[in-house]
Amino acid sequence: MLKSATTTSLKQHFARAALLGSALGASMLAGLSATSAQTVTVWSGYPEMAPFYEHVAQGLKAKNPNLNVKVEAIALREHEKRIALGLTSGVAGATVIELQGSTVRRYLENDLLPKAPDAVASFVKDKANFDEFFTSNASYEGAVYGVPLFRGQAALYYNTDMFKAAGLTTPPKTMEEYTQYAEKLTKRGPDGNPTVSGWSLRLTGGGQGIAEKFWINLFQYGGSVLEPTTDGKWRANYANEAGRATLKQYLQNVHVLRTVTPEMPADAEAFERGQTAMFIRESWVIGDIASKAPNLTYATAPLPRGSIALPTNLYVKAEGADSKAAWDFVMATNEPENLTWLLKNVGWLPNRSGVDYSSVTSATPAFGAFVNYPKDYKFFTLPSIGPIEEVLTRLAAQLTNAFRNASLAKDDTAIDAFLKSASDETNQILRREGLLGK
């Protein structure tokens, strides 16, 4: 009996020991697996890109189950501040950073981002993968630092039901027609005030967006906020006829024809809610409409002369094994399947050539204006110079005041004086930075 009791007690003891051992073993294994897990953080300035990076991460899980991808997508202007603070004070772990080619210059000049590994550089330099424009945008002094991903390219979005109701059968083809169309498309209340804007213009808000949108319109008139000079520098180029025509068109629409007012809902949200008949924006709106207003009847059209093409690239801030995981993630974003997913579900235009996007572009006719543009269609991009943000932010502040000034609308001399003053400020910034050309 005693023997039996002792045996039972011993058995229980061993069982407990075995259980404890198993638990310890399991926790050690878990610890081991935790130590081998790799985390890559993605900093994005476009919240709508988050699902794309998560999709890429999901795809990588099959190859690397220990990879943990953390996507941190915030508004662009806050993202830019995060990069300025993060890169100078030190970023922990592997971080993939989304940056426009025009903004990255300062960081590269100060060695704050590493060069891409050889294999990545070869991929980017391969003409079969990227047009020279995109390769050079991701490079600095001949070395590749980033991998091109997508670009911001603008086109006209118009509500086909509203066009039909206004008796308009084709999209506007000249800037003069834009104003004429806006007048016909504007819906007004009993007091004569517009309730649906004919053409949504960017008139208010903070940041450089106002100046970028102004530049797109200015480009249609043959102008440019900055132009390169023969000595490799830059100077303002909007205090001229093109600048006057552009600003006058804004002022006419706001103050004379009242096809739009600063108080009216604007941009993609207004378009999706039927609060504006047309507006100019990048391709991501197609994805936004698909998710927020799938029943909206609309079409797109190329702009009269050409468009902005603003490439966004991916850069890496990491060291050692972390660096490899981060670059692997970056390369995975450029896999054809992922790029097609990006175009279909988010709407930003991938930059990689040699990928068949026709399954998406043929299924969504709205992409037509972004890929099937006229042969003589022209593109411009923001110059990769240090003070580009300051130039645009200050111009935006000046433009906001001008848009509110009704007295400018019918006074060409006053418009010219305003443009001269704004242009002097732009040149002053360039002079201070040693970038003002002759």
Residues at the interface with another protein (CB under 8 A): 75, 77, 80-81, 84-85, 87-88, 106-107, 109-110, 112, 200, 202-209, 262-269, 386-387, 389-390, 393-394, 397, 400, 404
Instruction: Write down the least CB distance from residue 389 to another protein, Å.
Output: 5
Comparison of 167 and 189: residue with beta carbon closer to another protein? 189
Q: Which helix (H) or strand (E) holds 2?
A: helix 2-36
Instruction: Write down the least CB distance from residue 346 to another protein, Å.
Output: 15
Comparison of 80 and 322: residue with beta carbon closer to another protein? 80
Comparison of 267 and 322: residue with beta carbon closer to another protein? 267
Instruction: Write down the least CB distance from residue 310 to another protein, Å.
Output: 17
Is the distance from CB of 298 to CB of 158 less than 8 angstroms?
A: yes
Comparison of 160 and 393: residue with beta carbon closer to another protein? 393
Instruction: Write down the least CB distance from residue 262 to another protein, Å.
Output: 5
How many degrees, rounded to 5, is the angle at CA 274 between CA 272 and CA 278?
80
Task: Report the relative pairing of strands 278-282 and 143-144 from DSSP bridges.
Answer: unpaired
- 368 Cβ partners below 8 Å, 6+ apart? 300, 361
Could you please report the per-residue DSSP string of 179-248?
HHHHHHH-EE-TTS-EEEBSSB---S-SSTHHHHHHHHHHHHTT--SEEE-TTS-EEE--SSHHHHHHHH
Tokens of 303: 């702009």
Comparison of 98 and 389: residue with beta carbon closer to another protein? 389
* Contacts of 121-129 spanning 24+ positions with Cβ under 8 A: 123/147, 123/331, 123/334, 124/148, 128/353, 128/354, 129/334, 129/352, 129/353, 129/354
Comparison of 139 and 200: residue with beta carbon closer to another protein? 200
Instruction: Write down the least CB distance from residue 10 to another protein, Å.
Output: 57
Instruction: Write down the least CB distance from residue 263 to another protein, Å.
Output: 4
SS3 label, residue 249: helix
Comparison of 164 and 273: residue with beta carbon closer to another protein? 273
Instruction: Write down the least CB distance from residue 206 to another protein, Å.
Output: 4
Residue 4 CA to residue 18 CA, distance in Å, equals: 21
